[in-house]
Chains A and B, each alone.
Chain A
Amino acid sequence: MSEHSSWPEWIYVGVVVALLIYVGAEAWNIERIIEHIPSDAEIIQVTGQQWFWTFEHEDGTKEIGELHLKKDHAYKFEVVSKDVIHSFNIHDYVVLVDAVPGRVNTVWFSPDESGEFDIQCREYCGLIHYNMRAKLYVEDAS
């Protein structure tokens, strides 16, 4: 079938495999580091339901549609859903985890910039999915 030599293809496949191993190893290592939740992280209960977000701080204060956090402080979100699957997302901080009914999913972050950020739903959840939004306010610790 092939009268010509096949070594260029083997070299090419070798290069592709080497690149993939590099990407995979790097991704594995970074994910391992960023999934490690600091022990002093403050727990925020996040509840998604059609079509708004509710946040409950450790001291019991509840916020609907907005979330006030302090800069340079670690937070662990425990994300649940009351009805269908939503996805809790703070895009600017690459915080993303699905809110699945019957499960508690966790994700953590530590905001390093103060200001206003968008919280949105990233999983289709029905009629007003497009507007299932909240605001994150990161305030200076002082």
Chain B
Amino acid sequence: MTLEIQKPRPIWQIMFSTHHTDVGLLYLITSLAALFMGGTLALAIRLELFLPGSQFISDSMTFNRMFTVHGTTLIFLFILPFASAVGNYFVPIMVRYKDMAYPKLNAIAYWMIPPAFALIWLGFADFTWNAYAPYSVTRAPGPAADMWIFGLKLLGISSILGAINFIVTILKCKHPDLPLSKIPLLAWSYLTSSLIMLVAMPTFAAALLMLLTDRLGLSGFFNPAMGGDPIAYQHLFWFTFHPEVYVLVIPAIGFMYDIIPRFSRKPIFSHVSGIAAFVLLSIVGFASWAHHMYATGMSFTEKTVFMIGTLSAVPASAMHVFNFLATMWGGRIKFATPMMWAVGGIALFFSAGAGGVVNSAMPLDFMTHDSYWVVGHFHLFVMGTIAFGSFGFLYYIFPYVTGRMYNEKLGKIHFVMSFIGTIMVFFTQHILGLYGMPRRVFDYPPIPEWIAMNQFITIGAMIIGVGMVIFLINIVYSSGKGKEADMGDPWGVGGEKYYYPYQSKTPHH
């Protein structure tokens, strides 16, 4: 069997292709580039915070720009494109169609990302990834802020086009013999997350335009000096970006739904409960956005409503955890690299969710809000759950994408270092938050506990960093020189052969 990638082709044939695996490969390479660029910024931020005072970053403006671009890059240029990459590779296969529904639209959606990437990195804005008004309207310096706005605008359009494509592919192009209830949970995760994206994203798209005209002085939607309301921006922002959290996390859960049964050598405990949890999460996900805004002076009633909305998202997530554990229960588990990432991701998903219940409880939120607790909390989701699921799935699809095996030992070392590092960094950040350290600070007063915890966190971050270098070496080396993979069953888990290359070559496809 010859994979697409193993046919000798000039690079431009891949770049200007509209075939779903080629676009998927482009998404994949872009997202990995963003991972290493954004990760480098994270390590620089951690080095700077190793001690109070200025270490090697001379001014706070540079620091502020770094954490802004760090967040923007890893959310919009790593996590989302990675999910699109996997979706491009597998959603058509899973619904048994020859390509995405609109191949050209698919390529267009991808090609909006590189210009956005360039705008964000060349601009290097400083107003945090939230771009809260009125700072972003009246104070944020120069072209950087406008370039960020245009970059995000492009990414928003790209996400909407991608979401439409996934929805149409799944609903309209699936094989007629395949009922919707039987398509794999990974495809279900793309269906639900794309629907969330389609409903949520236009709100932020509108807010970005309003922000831009405000900055140009043409309007005053969010500028109190012109009668606007800065809190309105926060509502528009979080109406998009709280559901967006589920857009990010749902595909990662979908990855785990593929890895866990495969390496537990058991079918998934309950397909129906997985679907139900996805659908439930995509609905209640829209009821909690203002829990990011308890401290903006909301009334007691508003806070209560959004606390209830937030807590009601928990059972759906808890159902996924149950489903994973029940699948593993009594299975003959093979802890190959993808399985280690998936299991580690589930453990951290549970921890992050437990911390989230604390945030949502109103009186406790005022201890944790905008402190390092919050940084630790959402990083447990984006790193601990989403990135872990993504790395696991990257190892899982590696034979399919390259036709070769990665080095299993290095993959496991990558996992162990990342797992230890993640716990050191983000659990400690929770405690640091309880000690009162605010987030987004360039410098901090020399309080002994703060210094000790910051140093511990920086060491953890360096452990993750070394693990990522090992990861990079592993995938670069293995994709060229790794040994040929057994495409029917690359890990030797045996049993029913449902690894994708096998599936994609079966006659009914």
Contact = CB atoms under 8 A, between A and B. Distances in A.
B377 to A, nearest CB: 15
A102 B137 CA distance: 15
Contacts of B357: 20, 23
Contacts of B272: 1-2
B307 A28 contact: yes
Given A28-B304, A100-B297, A118-B445, A9 B135 contact: no
A27 B307 contact: yes
Contacts of B132: 84-85, 123-124
B58 interface: no
Interface in B359-378: 360-364, 366-367, 369-371
A17 B315 contact: yes
Contact of B442 (A28, A95, A97, A130): A130
Given A13-B315, A84-B134, A124-B440, A6 B270 contact: yes
Contacts of A124: 64, 127-128, 130, 132, 135, 439-440
Interface residues of B, number: 60
A51 to B, nearest CB: 10
A67 B400 CA distance: 64
A101 interface: yes
B138 A84 contact: yes
Nearest to A130: B441
Contacts of B314: 16, 20
A92 B61 contact: no
Interface stretch (A31-39, A56-64, A68-76): A31-39
A106 B298 CA distance: 10
A41 interface: no
Given A100-B296, A101-B134, A128-B60, A6 B273 contact: yes
A106 B299 CA distance: 11
Given A24-B311, A98-B295, A9 B273 contact: yes
Contacts of A120: 436, 438
Contacts of A28: 304, 307, 362
Interface in A3-59: 4, 6, 8-9, 12-13, 16-17, 20, 23-24, 26-28, 30-32, 34-35, 50
Interface in A91-109: 91-92, 94-98, 100-103, 105-106
Contacts of A31: 300, 303-304, 362-363
A98 B297 contact: yes
Contact of A94 (B128, B322, B367): B367
Interface in B300-336: 300, 303-304, 307-308, 311-312, 314-315, 318-319, 322-323, 326
B210 interface: no
Interface stretch (B223-231, B386-394, B452-460): B223-231
B230 A83 contact: no
Contacts of B139: 50, 83-84, 126
A124 B440 CA distance: 6
A131 B60 CA distance: 10
A100 B223 CA distance: 11
15 contacts: A2-B272, A9-B322, A9-B323, A13-B319, A20-B315, A20-B357, A27-B307, A27-B363, A50-B139, A84-B138, A85-B230, A87-B369, A100-B230, A103-B297, A105-B297
B230 A101 contact: yes
Contacts of B362: 27-28, 30-31
Contact of A2 (B269, B371, B439, B443): B269
A13 B314 CA distance: 10
Which label, helix, strand, loop or mixed, suits the secondary structure of the A interface? mixed
B47 to A, nearest CB: 16
Given A83-B138, A102-B229, A130-B443, A23 B311 contact: yes
Contacts of A26: 361
Interface size classification for chain A: 35 or more
Contacts of B61: 127
B307 A24 contact: yes
Nearest to B68: A124
B430 interface: no
A23 B361 contact: yes
B230 A102 contact: yes
B363 A122 contact: no
A27 B361 contact: yes
B230 A32 contact: no
A29 to B, nearest CB: 9
Contacts of A123: 132, 370
Nearest to B293: A98
A23 B365 CA distance: 13
Nearest to A128: B60
A118 B445 CA distance: 10
Nearest to A88: B295
B502 interface: no
Nearest to B134: A84
Given A17-B315, A32-B300, A96-B366, 14 more contacts: A9-B322, A16-B314, A23-B357, A26-B361, A50-B139, A84-B132, A84-B138, A98-B295, A101-B225, A105-B296, A118-B445, A123-B132, A129-B440, A130-B442
Contact of A127 (B60, B181, B230, B438): B60
Given A127-B61, A130-B60, A122 B371 contact: yes
Residue of B61, B273, B436, B445 ringed by the most chain A CB atoms within 10 A: B436
B16 interface: no
Contacts of B441: 129-130
B271 interface: yes
A98 B295 CA distance: 6
Contact of B370 (A8, A122, A130): A122
Nearest to B311: A20
A102 B224 contact: yes
Contacts of B439: 122, 124
A92 B461 CA distance: 28
Contacts of A136: none
